[in-house]
Chains A and B, each alone.
Chain A
Amino acid sequence: GAGVSQSPSNKVTEKGKDVELRCDPISGHTALYWYRQRLGQGLEFLIYFQGNSAPDKSGLPSDRFSAERTGESVSTLTIQRTQQEDSAVYLCASSLVVLGSWLSETQYFGPGTRLLVL
């Protein structure tokens, strides 16, 4: 069974360009999360998808950031008009949410995409 995979593993882009980051969750996992980790800092929550519910976008830092997920499969995080402060590792995680026991759900993380905006 494969774990969470992300692509690309590294991305270098110029300021002002758009980038798309992809996450393939563990098959059957209903929940998917995106996080950002700047150099030397902890993880910062960005967005959360759970089944067919409306996503929790409360962590997105600006309207340049958006994410989509089709059903319970692949998710794409898009950053428009990238800025140098967007340089970070973007991590995706997935989990299996069992009704009635969401508090004890465990997230499984992908290896991340290292984004460098020049």
Chain B
Amino acid sequence: DAKTTQPPSMDCAEGRAANLPCNHSTISGNEYVYWYRQIHSQGPQYIIHGLKNNETNEMASLIITEDRKSSTLILPHATLRDTAVYYCIVRKYGNQFYFGTGTSLTVIP
């Protein structure tokens, strides 16, 4: 089964870019990469997703390597409100999302 690996925790200075890596070396050709985040005591929030091209929206940018075996979520100017657990998810068969334990990002003032 396709699986993702993320560092358990990261720190980032406020105002700097936060770069969150994710490895998904067993990804299949028709699987998308999704990123969600979960702020303490809230439900997960969708951030961005992509297949093979880099994607950007108002929240973040997603960089996917050419071989699709890894990706990086970039928060261009991290704020204290970006402190959360960030989940990198590869879409499996059917419509299920399998969440790992994610990366706990702490934005430091």
The chain A residues found within 8 Å of chain B, CB to CB, are 4, 31, 33, 35, 41-45, 48, 50, 56, 59, 91, 93, 95, 97, 102-112
B104 to chain A, nearest CB (A): 10
Q: Please provide the 6 A-B residue pairs with the shortest distance between their CB atoms, ordered closest to farther.
A: A109-B43, A43-B99, A42-B99, A42-B101, A109-B44, A42-B100
A42-B43 CB under 8 A given contacts A104-B49, A105-B95: no
CB–CB A103/B30 < 8 A: yes
CB–CB A110/B43 < 8 A: yes
A56-B94 CB under 8 A given contacts A103-B31, A106-B49: yes
Interface bin, chain B: 20 to 34
For B97, give the chain A residue with the smallest CB separation.
Answer: A107
- Complex contacts, B98 vs chain A, CB 8 Å: 45
CB–CB B45/A104 < 8 A: no
For B98, give the chain A residue with the smallest CB separation.
Answer: A45
**A91 contacts which of B44, B91, B96 (Cβ < 8 Å)?**
B44
Alpha-carbon gap, A42 to B42, bound state (A): 13
